Amino acid sequence: MQTHELIAHTAYPPLEVTKVQSRIIGYDADWLRLRWRIEGSGKLVVPPFAGRGRADELWRTTCFELFLMPSGGDAYSELNLSPSERWNAYDFSDYRDGMTERPASREPNCTMRQGGSFAIFDAAVPASVIPKANCAMNLTCVLEEESGIKSFWALKHVKDQPDFHDPACFAAELAAPTAT
């Protein structure tokens, strides 16, 4: 699968993080598997373990996100995945409008590994949470480092302030899953 280089928003430079890559490592009828690799993660703040369960405002600290917009409309979905194992999924009827919690048949599996100068965050999201159509996609993350420094990483930034919801930032494609 394709690896995507994420870009830090220039208004919020990182402390020591030098590079973030994200990729879809598998997608079938059961799971969408994603991976983020963070280079220069020595001062990364990782939220403490909280166990699986939905939670809001995960983006206030280190959090990994996926935005999906099915072809032919303005509606889109947002998934928030935390190293704490907390998560949430939302549907929007239009740009930042009509937010509702997206149903999920199972909870995602999230794991964070740190080693030396890099960290890897893996997430397995139940396919039932993912729109069934081909989608425009934005892979993103908020990375908090020591002293409360936050950087905002995405496939593309188009505004003076970070805005992962902007349709112009949905710069990749996610095809419908392969059969198992």
Task: Tell me what percent of the residues of the chain surpass a pLDDT of 70.
Answer: 98
pLDDT score of 2: 83
Q: How many residues does the chain have?
A: 180
Question: Could you give the CA distance from residue 180 to residue 176 in angstroms, rounded to a whole number?
Answer: 13
CB 122 within 8 A of CB 63: no
Q: How far apart are CA 102 and CA 176, in angstroms?
A: 18
Q: Tell me the H-state helices in the chain.
A: none
CB 66 within 8 A of CB 139: yes
pLDDT in tens, 117-135: 999 999 999 999 999 889 9
- pLDDT confidence of residue 142: 98
Q: What are the structural domains of the chain?
A: 3-174 (2.60.40.1190)
pLDDT digits 0-9 by tens, 18-71: 999 999 999 999 999 999 999 999 999 999 999 999 999 999 999 999 999 998
Tell me the pLDDT of the chain averaged across its residues. Answer: 95
